[in-house]
Chain A
Amino acid sequence: MTTYLRASEIIRKPVVTLGGEDVAQVKDILFDASKGRIRGFTLTGRGLLSGPLHRELLWRNVHRLGPDAVMVRTGNALEDDDSTAQSAVEEPGGGNVLGIAMTTRSGTRLGTITDAIIETGATPVVAGYELESPGHGSVLVPVAGPVTVSSERVLVPDETAEHSAGTLESFGTAAEGLRRRLEQDAQEKQED
């Protein structure tokens, strides 16, 4: 079963070992927008007044990302802050996509990104974005095909605009629709 989550919902979720211990809490998502991947999470301690943990959870150490917890095998899955994880945040396109514009390749601005939609499961990917769109309010748009990210905008194929959804429940259908459409277009191009 494919489940979609807003990235903002993952924040503050507990990180739980298969032994049932909560070892940390998600502070933020280390996100590689250009590849559409989650690199990992930054963490805070559990509890009301606990400060940031100077440790990170890299994706390869995540057992499963679920709707109620991020599961890891053992507490050893948390890594001390290291240079690889740090540099991920600094990379172009690896930083914050919130507040930047989504624009089609032919130059139509679809809206401002307010959240990312994560497809959960064994290999989670960024399946789309939530946009605040002038005149339409909040819409969920899937991403597929060539996506280019700069610090100012995310550029998506024109077809993206036709496959948006209003709710997370209908997002799967929209994502599947866009995927098929882009496949079809690619086939037609080959046949020409």
Chain B
Amino acid sequence: MLFTRAQGEDVVELSSAATLGTVTACTLAPSPARISGLRLKTRGRGGRHMLAWKDVESFGPDAVTVRDASRLRREKEIESGQQTHPDHDPIGKPVLTEAGEARGTVLDVEFDEQTGRVSRLLTAEEQFSGDDLVGVGGYAVVVGDTSR
């Protein structure tokens, strides 16, 4: 599934069937490349929240379910070293190879909604295998120097 298709999906609490928020973005972690968390826009809960991938019960075609609202964390409270820190959001970031060459901007991420594994990163011109992902930081998405 492409991540841009998941943007806007409701995040639903299983215990109450209430909508907690909507998916706006994700964070990635490398080796193996995977979605580490979902960034949410929440209503009446004070801004942006993060849902760690391990707390996702199910990633369906129309909604993401979570056991209960206590799994959500305020984005502001996440420290910079953590895998779900918003710095690890890849969309809109430049791709740099580990050799220091710029290769476009990440527009989309193809992932498996069962496991969260990332198969491909897409730019306007190219696609990079998830296996080539080295890191995602506040400045850039770094990929191995192998693919061209």
Contact = CB atoms under 8 A, between A and B. Distances in A.
Interface of A: 14, 16-22, 63-71, 120-121
A17 B30 CA distance: 14
B145 to A, nearest CB: 8
B101 A68 contact: yes
Contact of A19 (B100, B102, B137): B137
B138 to A, nearest CB: 5
B139 A20 contact: yes
B141 A20 contact: yes
A70 B141 CA distance: 14
A16 B101 contact: no
A70 B98 CA distance: 9
A65 B98 CA distance: 9
Interface string B5-26: 0000000000000000000000
B97 interface: yes
Interface of B: 87, 93, 96-102, 134-142, 145
Given A20-B134, A22-B140, 16 more contacts: A17-B137, A18-B142, A19-B142, A20-B93, A20-B138, A20-B139, A20-B140, A20-B142, A66-B96, A66-B99, A66-B100, A67-B102, A68-B100, A71-B98, A71-B100, A71-B142
B26 to A, nearest CB: 15
B101 to A, nearest CB: 5
Contact of A64 (B100, B102, B139, B141): B100
Nearest to B30: A19
Contact of B96 (A65, A68, A120, A121): A68
